[in-house]
Amino acid sequence: MNRFSCQRAFTLVETLVVVGIITLLIGLVMPAIKMVRAESRNSGCLSNLRQNFTAWQSYQVANRGAMPMCEFLPVVTPEGISGGLPNLLANYIDVESPTWICPADFDTESTDTGTSYNYLPGLLRFSPQVQMETLQVLMTLPANTIERQRQRLRLETEGKLVAKLFENDAKGLFPILIDSEDRHPGTRVPRNAIYLDGAARAATVEANTAVD
């Protein structure tokens, strides 16, 4: 019996070899698992952008083609989240829809604002060209115009002017929505974006620079 037990037992060398093989296999498998997870999150992000863009288009249809105009990111106030595209499109997609958060985004700041994505038209509205032309339109209003009407005209004018910028963007560099940070390593610019033609893809360097 003792002789049989000795023959069946693992030696120290054999145990170390087995442990080494297992470690090697884990080392080979883990990067592949991380890559699969990253690819899954990237696909989920692109899907989110498409769904949000569908709501964006629905707003346009309901408002005679007007481009939604709001802040490029929601603002966190003591009373809660204010402004931003999720709030503007609340009638077309839930403000708390998971599509507003990129699957690769683990930043609490995004959770606080309610979205992982920057709305580029909301940033371009503050360009000098748009603001100067908007001011010229507002100066034509009568002095007794109430503030609500003034603000509505401002947004309508900004929307039309920003829409022209997108229409004149022959190279398609301006995205509608874009990841607020680099979250998808493996691409030249690891941010996803969706463009006016509805194409969701990795953002160009120029689009990334425009947001930053």
Residue type, 170: A
What pTM was computed for the model?
0.80
Q: Name the nearest CA neighbour of 97 among 86, 81, 106.
A: 86
What pLDDT tens digit does each residue of the chain (212 aa) get?
455 445 566 676 667 777 777 777 667 666 666 777 888 899 999 999 999 999 999 999 998 888 999 999 998 888 888 889 999 999 999 999 999 999 999 988 888 899 999 999 999 999 999 999 999 999 999 988 899 999 989 999 999 999 999 988 878 889 999 999 999 987 677 899 999 999 999 987 666 666 66
User: What 3-state DSSP class applies to 117?
Assistant: strand
For 42-103, the DSSP string reads HHHHHHHHHHHHHHHHHHHHHTTTPPP---SS-EEETTEEESSHHHHTTTTS-TT-GGGS-T
Tell me the residue type at 80: G
Domain coordinates in residue numbering, the chain = 41-211
Contact 38, 184 (CB under 8 A): yes
